[in-house]
């Protein structure tokens, strides 16, 4: 897909993981590294030069629903390390690699540093929930508007599942405020959430401003993960 072979780099990465596995001090670290070595999506991400395995979740969703079209403007929330932005750049042609297709725009935001990517603007160390970040988005997006908002955001795990659920869904609620400022009528929002007491409330709020809201669990999501995605399509700006 990306025109290069990365088998050598994957072998190097695997060897590094094996070395780390041998030096791990805790059973939890060993279990995590063993899972990484066996994960087919981790292997595929190395071979196809994706920054992490999460790229395959977005690829699967977009292959089915065609959210990312050439010429579209996309905001990627919680973008680090940049795998979803890689997919978006390719699909909306924001790097201009296809001269026959209109060029799109990709803007990624994260509290963490995001390594540079050709075809994307990154707002590293920015909080997507606050007005100053919204103001920068309005400057970067053509006409100050986006066709698609993507969110793979997640809070740092606390070890308390219900607490993490509340934090994650609260992040999703903030995306509705962002959508009101930048999302074009007819636009789409894809956001990660987890099962829990607030999931139904989030779905109801999305249903008020989108014509269609679907729950998705991509094949690339780990089976033991509580994560799900809401795909909300055909945005209707709320009346003031």
**Are the beta carbons of 126 and 109 closer than 8 angstroms?**
yes
Q: How far is CA 134 from CA 19, 75, 146, 148, 208, in A?
A: 43, 11, 12, 15, 22
Cα separation, 124 vs 80, in Å, equals 8
Catalytic status, residue 192: yes
Judge residue 64's burial from the number of C-beta atoms within 10 Å of its C-beta, 0-12 exposed, 13-18 middle, 19 or more buried. Answer: exposed
Residue from 20, 23, 25, 192 carrying the catalytic annotation: 192
How many Å is the maximal CA-CA distance in the chain? 59
Helices marked H in 72-160: 83-92, 131-140
| Catalytic residue set | 192
């Amino acid at each position: 897909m990306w025109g290069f072979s990365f088998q050598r780099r994957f072998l190097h990465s695997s060897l590094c993981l094996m070395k780390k596995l041998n030096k791990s001090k805790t059973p939890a670290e060993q279990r995590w590294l063993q899972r990484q070595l066996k994960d087919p999506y981790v292997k595929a991400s190395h071979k196809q030069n994706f920054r992490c395995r999460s790229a395959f979740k977005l690829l699967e969703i977009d292959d089915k629903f065609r959210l990312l079209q050439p010429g579209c403007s996309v905001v990627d929330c919680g973008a680090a390390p940049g795998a979803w932005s890689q997919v978006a750049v390719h699909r909306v042609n924001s790097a201009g690699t296809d001269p026959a297709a209109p060029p799109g725009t990709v803007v990624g935001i994260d509290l963490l540093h995001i390594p540079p990517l050709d075809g994307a603007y990154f707002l590293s160390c920015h909080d997507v929930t606050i007005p100053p970040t919204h103001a920068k988005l309005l400057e970067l997006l053509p006409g100050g508007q986006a066709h698609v908002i993507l969110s793979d955001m997640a809070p740092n795990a606390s070890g308390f599942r219900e607490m993490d659920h509340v934090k994650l869904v609260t992040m999703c609620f903030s995306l509705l405020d962002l959508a009101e400022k930048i999302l074009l009528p007819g636009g789409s929002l894809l956001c990660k959430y987890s099962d829990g007491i607030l999931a139904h409330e989030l779905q109801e709020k999305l249903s008020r401003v989108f014509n269609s809201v679907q729950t998705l669990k991509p094949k690339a999501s780990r089976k033991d993960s509580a994560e799900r995605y809401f795909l909300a399509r055909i945005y209707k700006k709320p009346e003031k």
